[in-house]
Every structure is written in structure tokens, then in C-alpha cells.
Amino acid sequence: MMHAPTLTKKRLETVLAQHYRLGRLRSYARLKKGLGNALYHVSTEKGDYTLKIAIRNNPVRVRYEIDLLNTLSRLPTPTPLKTRQGGYLFDYHGYQSFMYPFLPGEHRKRMTPTMLKDVGIFLGKLHFQTEGYTSKINRFRFYDITSKNRGVIMRDSRRVKHPRLREAVEYM
């Protein structure tokens, strides 16, 4: 996990008051998942939310994510919350950050055939909705990596000694 800025109760209350109208903070906890981001489950008087602090993603990638999420409809995906200032992003100690309603769920180690079918149906709907999606944001063409290139990258990544660089390579 990448190192994220410290989030204290006082700092979070300040962020909520400055950027949102979500009522008083009830509780918050860092989520265990999230390699390139720090994710927090935030509970307020008005509901449960996820705070995403993009610690690895650059502003272009974060903006792309928000634009994409805002184009989806009728899918169980988060919809970013607008800030009091009218945008979606705010700066949290030098990191692009945003919030969306919390989507409850659980991490499964084993998938049943029914779950896999549901994932396939979801991905089909997602691909159908995004078929004509275009963005003004240039995006890294991650999926254009060939099998041959992937093998070279994986072999070379095993030689990386610096832990943070190795973590970045593994993330990719």
C-alpha cells in the first residue's frame, strides 16, 4: 500500500464541512483494499460514503474516472458527489480526492458459478454502455500490451530492488 497523508477525525470533519453538506461525522475507517488510493468508509448523519484519496493516480486519470462514472446509468457503480463548490474533486494535502456513496459488499476468496455469471452480466452491460464513450482525456493504453511484452515486463519487474518501485510495477 502506498503511503497516504494522515487522516484524523479533526481533518476529516474540516473536509466534510468545507466541501460537503453531509451532516456531522459519526465514524470513519480506512478500508483494507486500495493499492493506488487511500479509501475510507465515512459515516455521517446523512449516510455512508467512501472518501477516495488518489495517492498514486495523477489528476488526468482521476478526472477520467469521474467522467466515466458520471456517464454510467442503471449499474451498481458509485456516482461521485458534487462538492459545495460545484466540482467533484478537492485537494487533500496535495492529493486529488473525492467522495461517493458507500457501496457495501464483501471480499470473497471463492466465486460461485452464479457470482461469476453476475460479474459477466455486469461487464457486458458496462461494455455496452461504454462502447461509444469518448473522453477528452488521453488515457494510457494499458490493454494494448501484448502477451510477449507482458512477459518481458514481468521478468524485468522481478529484478527491481527498490520496494516502492517494485510496488508500482506490480500494480501495473
Both 91 and 145 in one domain: the answer is: no
> What is the b/e burial string over 35-64, where b = at least 16 CB atoms within 10 angstroms of the residue's CB?
eebbbbebebeeeebbbbbbbbbeeebbbb
pTM, rounded to two decimals:
0.74
Both 62 and 145 in one domain: the answer is: no
The pLDDT value given to residue 63 = 86
Q: Classify residue 108: in a domain, yes or no.
A: no
> Which residues of the chain fall short of a pLDDT of 70?
1-4, 34-35, 57, 137-145, 169-172
Last residue of a domain, one of 71, 101, 131: 101
Residue carrying the nine cell digits 463548490? 85
> What are the tens digits of pLDDT across the range 118-149?
999 999 999 898 888 877 766 555 555 677 77
* Rounded-to-integer distance, Cα 92 and Cα 98, Å: 9
Instruction: Quote the domain boundaries for residue 120.
Output: 113-171
CA distances from 148 to 40, 76, 144, 145 (A): 38, 35, 11, 8
The pLDDT value given to residue 94 = 85
How far out from the chain centre does Cα 89 lie?
Answer: 13
The pLDDT value given to residue 43 = 97
> What are the tens digits of pLDDT across the range 97-114?
999 999 988 888 898 999
The pLDDT value given to residue 1 = 46
Q: Is 142 left (phi over 0), alpha (psi -120 to 50) or beta?
A: alpha
